[in-house]
Structure 1
Amino acid sequence: MYSEKVMDHFMNPRNVGEIEDASGVGTVGNAKCGDIMKVYLKIDEGIITDAKFKTFGCGAAVATSSMATELVIGKTIEEALKITNRSVAEALDGLPPVKMHCSLLAEESLHAALWDYAKKNNITIEGLEEPVADVHEHDHDHEEGSGCCNA
């Protein structure tokens, strides 16, 4: 069901924790399945120098959080904006269709942290939209009764 990379990031998640003096913090959830992701970013001169996460959810939610933080470290803000749920899933060698919403949470939590950074610094980041508290509002691929994170 899960790739070796998903299992590795679930069993040995990278970048777990929080950054006390984070440049931006983003929290998103999915009320339908109860997952909550919180991402902390440290940004220095437009480069993401550190990323940490805390996730309450299933194995796929933990794995996508772990991979998203790995993908974003060392990137510019503009490069970080290009990290999508699909790129997170691809980096994990795929996710089952009923778990794709977990990668959407990872993308949205990164964007929420960037939004927080922009607000704190009174700047506009081109292409960044205001985050939603419940990612299900943007989750158009999710089907009723798909199993969500209960599996």
Structure 2
Amino acid sequence: MWDYTDKVMEHFWSPRNVGEVENPDGLGEVGSIACGDALRLTFKVDQNKRIQEAKFKSFGCASAIAAASALTEMLKGCTIEEAEKITNQDIAAFLGGLPPQKMHCSVLGEQVLERAIAYYRGKPADKREEIICECFGVTDQEIQKAVKENNLNAVEEVTNYTKAGGGCGSCQEKIQGIIDWVRAEVREPRGPKLIGIQKLPIMTSLERKVEK
């Protein structure tokens, strides 16, 4: 049995805000029952542009239910700008931590929140994403985001946070490629490209050195 905190068990046995908000301002769905975890989030915004009510429906394990319950509690009273700053690490911390193998449940919460906020803002879903893990429907952008935000370095860690690679395993080479690409980007940050007059001080400095 997993070593869950008391807070996780509390939100599992007595989940808050189960159901669906009528005529929601925000609506998001992630996962699928076929993949083992599915989550639907709806919320309502009041006249002051703060989240007045948030509810969820979930199909999944104790961690998935607890993470969704925690998320709805965290959202109450938030502005949209405050809500979009909530990360999977914040959800896990609210619950007193999650087992490494269950961190994907907190990531699911972050993903559904992003989609609900996009719905609120009238933004269409990004069609450029590529499905990397067919078993669990995980995209390249979801993996990239998990690697960046959680400083992941191994395929096993990505599986813990997203479930990608945890099925047939045929996508693990692609996952490693994404990890390598993200880590290379982190090691070699690109500075802003200088244009026009921005180059003049540098050129002048170099010219002076040459003259000397």
Q: TM-score range by the shorter chain?
A: 0.7 to 0.9
* Counterpart pick for 2:106 among 103, 107, 121: 103
Name 1:118's counterpart in structure 2: 121
Q: Superposed, which structure 2 residues align to 1:59-78 within 5 Å?
A: 59-78=62-81
User: Measured at CA, do residues 135 and 66 of structure 1 come closer, stay the same or move farther in structure 2, by a change above 3 Å?
Assistant: farther
User: Measured at CA, do residues 4 and 27 of structure 1 come closer, stay the same or move farther in structure 2, by a change above 3 Å?
Assistant: same
Which runs of 5 or more structure 1 residues have no equivalent in the other structure?
147-151
- My pick for the range that moved more, 70-79 or 44-53, is 44-53
d(CA) in 1 for partners of 2:20, 2:158: 29
**TM-score, normalised via structure 2 length:** 0.59
Does the 8 A contact of 1:10 with 1:62 survive in 2?
A: yes
- In structure 2, give the amino acid aligned to 1:18: E
Does the 8 A contact of 1:6 with 1:92 survive in 2?
A: yes
Kindly provide the CA deviation profile for residues 24-44 of structure 1, in whole angstroms up to 9, marking residues without a partner as x.
110011688420100001012
d(CA) in 1 for partners of 2:78, 2:120: 15
Report SS of the residue matched to 1:39. Answer: strand
- In structure 2, give the amino acid aligned to 1:142: V
Does the 8 A contact of 1:24 with 1:42 survive in 2?
A: yes
- In structure 1, give the amino acid aligned to 2:9: M
Kindly provide the CA deviation profile for residues 4-52 of structure 1, in whole angstroms up to 9, marking residues without a partner as x.
0000000000000001111111001168842010000101232111000
Share of identical aligned residues, percent?
45
Does the 8 A contact of 2:70 with 2:95 survive in 1?
A: yes
Q: Superposed, which structure 2 residues align to 1:73-88 within 5 Å?
A: 73-88=76-91
**TM-score, normalised via structure 1 length:** 0.82
Which runs of 5 or more structure 2 residues have no equivalent in the other structure?
148-156, 160-164, 168-212
Higher relative contact order, structure no. (Cα contacts within 8 Å, ≥ 6 residues apart):
1
Name 2:158's counterpart in structure 1: 142
Q: What is the root-mean-square deviation in Å for CA atoms of aligned residues?
A: 2.5
d(CA) in 2 for partners of 1:71, 1:130: 26
Kindly provide the CA deviation profile for residues 65-86 of structure 1, in whole angstroms up to 9, marking residues without a partner as x.
0000000110000110111000
d(CA) in 1 for partners of 2:85, 2:35: 26
- In structure 2, give the amino acid aligned to 1:2: Y
User: Measured at CA, do residues 135 and 91 of structure 1 come closer, stay the same or move farther in structure 2, by a change above 3 Å?
Assistant: farther
Report SS of the residue matched to 2:11. Answer: helix
